[in-house]
Amino acid sequence: MKKKLDQSKVILATDCGSTTTKAILIQCIDGEYRMTHRGESPTTVEAPFEDVTRGVLNAVMELEELSGRKILDGEMFINTCDKGEDGIDLYISTSSAGGGLQMMVAGVVKSMSGESAQRAALGAGAIVMDVLASNDGRMYHEKVKRIRQLRPDMILLSGGVDGGTVSHVVELAEILESANPKPRLGINYKLPIIYAGNKKARDSIKEKLSKISDLEVVKNIRPTLDSENLQPSRDKIHDLFMEHVMAQAPGYKKLMSWADTPIMPTPGAVGEIIKKIAEKEKMSVLGVDIGGATTDVFSVFQGIFNRTVSANLGMSYSVCNVLAEAGIDNVARWVPFDLDKEDLMNRIANKMIRPTTIPQSIDELKIEQAIAREALRLSFYQHKNFAVGLKGVQQERTISDAFDQTMSGQTLVDMMDLDLLVGSGGVLSHAPRRSQSAKMLVDAFLPQGITQLAVDSIFMMPQLGVLSTVHPKAAVEVFEKDCLVRLGTVIAPVGKVKNDKQLMSYLIKHPEGEIEGTLIEGEIKLIKADFIPIECIFKPERGIDLGEGEGEIIEKQIFGGEVGIILDGRGRPELGFSSDIDKRKSILSNWSIALDEYNEEQIYSDDRRMKEDQKLIGFIK
């Protein structure tokens, strides 16, 4: 009997991460889908186990213990198909184990087909190791050397509009042919190459690449200069990820045979759920997942989905890279006490080599959250520069003319247009106080106007993403009820007034009584309110914009959350930091107190503690 997947009542979903395999059990209770239990276990892709299914079974066994539901019969799932008390109806999984899907993309013009290919690969959940382009400034032999060094899992080759000149894209194929690239995993199979370029060049591409690779041809990613067709490439990437890359990883053939739907790369699945939510709520959404090694940013603006992965910005394995890229001063500006540079460097480097440590003191937590702000800020900066409209659209040029063009597309990311900002990853999801998560998100992303804030409670977006492809109802219900923790709404006026002058006045019709007040430049305020609709009136001053234009009054229903309503008058589009160190420290402390960010009673003196800590460093006996 063929399963009707969208009728499933008991769903098991796993995410096989680099270090941990997470399993969740979703059940339909009284007509409503809820995540009822969660288990986890170390991932077992590497020695001594070298079988991913061991970790999956261990995580599922934990689920069985917690739920009391028998899911396994030996090493097989019990398939209930609507019958009996035990078993499951549907099993789905995502995976980023073994370093995820690592791709190289190639396009004729770096900022055109090169970017389109990059968007396709990132959207499918890949890490893009390099973008090869005819005009990337590298010599032929340098490109060949780079391809040989990187050994990607897959290559996506694009270039040329349909019917246009073929020579440039064939030249790229010749570079690939010369490099004769070998896959990262397994020495005995051919590297998959997807061709998604000018259809007129297909025969020549086949001639060049079919002998050295497993060549697949799909529709052109950029059929005309003003259109982009990413889906056929993304679908093919998912197919090949299953057939080639995953099939090489230990235990995945068995895992694939268990799953009712194809295993999806973890970030690709997160992208799916972000897209679904934006579509369903008709809103613009920005999502971020900050991990130990990488930070992924997802956005849907004007209905267009974009994903970027900052491969070396993270909170443990890549924490030194955050410091290197942001600079010590940018990290220090968020810390309300003095830092000894060398000591801080060693502390952070020790976190890189022992990634599982936990901040014990309040100062360690503040330093960790300062680094997180910078990792998020840098990742978002990269995202804004990548999530742009198609370049070269309004130019009447041929591809070859386009080599010289320097015009860049406008970013699609409009913070005033943003409706919902969702954070995920340990430092955001597991911050001791939700107000810390909210403040990290606001400080790093600087939302403008009126924006809702949320965090993923236990990082179940990947599982819900793949679920959304077969059972959208269950995915959306669980996402809203169990996955998202609503933090509240931030109101951030844009524009400049003189110091200490009023930015806006407000009337918040709180259920416990109306709250009226004014927001002064440089000030941040928190109004506690639950996740319920609250009518508000905001009156910005002349020259100040909240989304409806300068000085325009806004009457709107907004929502509170676990944190509440944040009125942020600290400055937009950029925060103003004082160059006076003592003044800056005092301002930072005031911001923290306003948002009830830390337990200030426990802090006896930031300066005193740092001095004590420094005594402990140095020669250790």
Partner 1 sequence: MSKSYTPGLKILKSTILSKKRLLPLKGEVHVDKNEAISHDTIVASTKIPGNVHMVNLSKQLNVEPNGVKDLMLIEVDEKIVKGQVIAESKGFFGMFKASVKSPVDGFLLNVSDITGQATISEPALPVEIDSYIDGMVQEVFDKEGVLIQSNCAIIQGILGVGGENKGEIKVLTKTEQDEIISDMITPDLNGKIVVGGSYITLDAYRKAQKMNVSGIIVGGFNYTDLSQLLGFNLGVAITGSENLGTSLLITEGFGKIKMARRTFKLFNSLEGRYGSINGATQIRAGVIRPEVVVALDSDNEKHEEFNEDELVINVGSNVRVIRAPYFGKVGTVAELPSELLKMESETLVRVAKIKFENGEFSTVPRANLEVILQD
Binding status of residue 204 toward partner 1 by CB under 8 A? yes
Shortest gap between Cβ of 177 and partner 1 (angstroms)? 7
Binding status of residue 589 toward partner 1 by CB under 8 A? no
Binding status of residue 263 toward partner 1 by CB under 8 A? no
Treating both helix axes as pointing N-terminal to C-terminal, what angle do 167-179 and 140-150 enclose, rounded to 10 degrees?
50
Beta strands in 53-182 (DSSP E): 72-73, 76-77, 90-95, 101-107, 126-133, 154-157
Strand pairing partners for 255? Answer: none
Is 43 within 8 Å of 18 (Cβ atoms)? yes
Is 122 within 8 Å of 128 (Cβ atoms)? yes
Which SS3 state, helix, strand or coil, does residue 33 take? strand
Beta strands in 420-577 (DSSP E): 420-424, 449-456, 484-492, 502-510, 513-520, 524-527, 533-540, 554-559, 564-568
Closer CB to partner 1, 357 or 408, in the complex: 357
Residues 15-34: x where in contact with partner 1 by CB under 8 A, - otherwise, as a string:
---xx---------------
For 171-195, the three-class secondary structure string (H helix, E strand, C coil) is HHHHHHHHHCCCCCCCCCCCCEEEE
Which member of 29, 407, 593, 617 binds partner 1 (CB under 8 A)? Answer: 617
Which SS3 state, helix, strand or coil, does residue 131 take? strand
Sign of the dihedral defined by the CA atoms of residues 133, 139, 141, 145, in that order: negative
Residues 41-80: x where in contact with partner 1 by CB under 8 A, - otherwise, as a string:
----xx----------------------------------
Shortest gap between Cβ of 293 and partner 1 (angstroms)? 6
Shortest gap between Cβ of 175 and partner 1 (angstroms)? 8
Closer CB to partner 1, 582 or 601, in the complex: 601
Binding status of residue 605 toward partner 1 by CB under 8 A? no
Binding status of residue 361 toward partner 1 by CB under 8 A? yes
Which member of 170, 422, 534, 587 binds partner 1 (CB under 8 A)? Answer: 170
> Is residue 580 classed exposed, middle or buried when 0-12, 13-18 and 19+ CB atoms within 10 A define those classes?
exposed
- DSSP annotation string for 348-406: HHHHHHSTT----SHHHHHHHHHHHHHHHHHHHHHHHHHSBPPTTTT----TTGGGG--
Which member of 156, 277, 348, 554 binds partner 1 (CB under 8 A)? Answer: 348
105-139 CB burial, b ≥16 within 10 A, e <16: bbbbbbbbbbbbbbbbbbbbbbbbbbbbbbbbeee
Binding status of residue 557 toward partner 1 by CB under 8 A? no
Closer CB to partner 1, 43 or 80, in the complex: 43
Binding status of residue 608 toward partner 1 by CB under 8 A? no
Amino acid letter, residue 425: G
Binding window for partner 1 (CB under 8 A); candidates: 111-119, 268-276, 311-319, 540-548: 311-319
Shortest gap between Cβ of 504 and partner 1 (angstroms)? 33
Closer CB to partner 1, 399 or 476, in the complex: 399
DSSP 275: H
Mark residue 68 as left, alpha or beta (left: phi above 0; alpha: psi -120 to 50; beta: remaining): left
Binding status of residue 312 toward partner 1 by CB under 8 A? yes
Which member of 317, 334, 479, 591 binds partner 1 (CB under 8 A)? Answer: 317
Binding status of residue 581 toward partner 1 by CB under 8 A? no
**Which of positions 78-97 make contact with partner 1 (CB under 8 A)?**
97
Which member of 174, 243, 414, 548 binds partner 1 (CB under 8 A)? Answer: 174
CA 72 to chain centre: 33
Which member of 85, 342, 404, 512 binds partner 1 (CB under 8 A)? Answer: 342
Closer CB to partner 1, 9 or 202, in the complex: 202
Shortest gap between Cβ of 120 and partner 1 (angstroms)? 24
Shortest gap between Cβ of 70 and partner 1 (angstroms)? 28
Rounded Cα gap, residues 237 and 6, in angstroms = 25
Which member of 356, 406, 410, 579 binds partner 1 (CB under 8 A)? Answer: 356
Shortest gap between Cβ of 255 and partner 1 (angstroms)? 17
Sign of the dihedral defined by the CA atoms of residues 567, 569, 571, 577, in that order: negative
Which member of 64, 86, 171, 606 binds partner 1 (CB under 8 A)? Answer: 171
Which member of 31, 187, 282, 406 binds partner 1 (CB under 8 A)? Answer: 187
Binding status of residue 357 toward partner 1 by CB under 8 A? yes
Single out the residue of 273, 288, 276, 366 nearest to residue 609, CA to CA: 366
**Which of positions 391-450 make contact with partner 1 (CB under 8 A)?**
432-433
Closer CB to partner 1, 1 or 358, in the complex: 358
For residue 318, give every residue at least 6 positions away whose Cβ sits within 8 Å of its Cβ, in sequence order, or none: 292, 293, 294, 312, 352
Closer CB to partner 1, 219 or 433, in the complex: 433
Is 597 within 8 Å of 436 (Cβ atoms)? yes
Which member of 4, 145, 397, 611 binds partner 1 (CB under 8 A)? Answer: 145
- DSSP annotation string for 225-248: TT----HHHHHHHHHHIIIIIIHH
CA 472 to chain centre: 21
Is 304 within 8 Å of 412 (Cβ atoms)? yes
Which member of 239, 340, 364, 596 binds partner 1 (CB under 8 A)? Answer: 364
Binding status of residue 148 toward partner 1 by CB under 8 A? yes
Which member of 275, 307, 351, 486 binds partner 1 (CB under 8 A)? Answer: 351
Binding status of residue 363 toward partner 1 by CB under 8 A? yes
Is 101 within 8 Å of 154 (Cβ atoms)? yes
Amino acid letter, residue 184: R
Binding window for partner 1 (CB under 8 A); candidates: 232-240, 442-450, 477-485, 611-619: 611-619
Binding status of residue 4 toward partner 1 by CB under 8 A? no
Binding status of residue 144 toward partner 1 by CB under 8 A? yes
Is 478 within 8 Å of 277 (Cβ atoms)? no
Binding status of residue 593 toward partner 1 by CB under 8 A? no
Which member of 90, 104, 166, 387 binds partner 1 (CB under 8 A)? Answer: 166
- What CA–CA distances, in Å, run from 468 to 240, 274, 358? 21, 10, 34
Binding status of residue 619 toward partner 1 by CB under 8 A? yes
Which member of 320, 446, 454, 464 binds partner 1 (CB under 8 A)? Answer: 320
Binding status of residue 130 toward partner 1 by CB under 8 A? no
Tokens 């742009």 correspond to: 388
- Contact residues toward partner 1 (CB under 8 A) are 18-19, 45-46, 97-99, 140-141, 144-145, 148, 166-167, 170-171, 174, 177-180, 182, 187, 204, 293, 312, 317-318, 320-321, 323-325, 341-342, 345-365, 432-433, 598-599, 602, 609, 612-613, 616-621
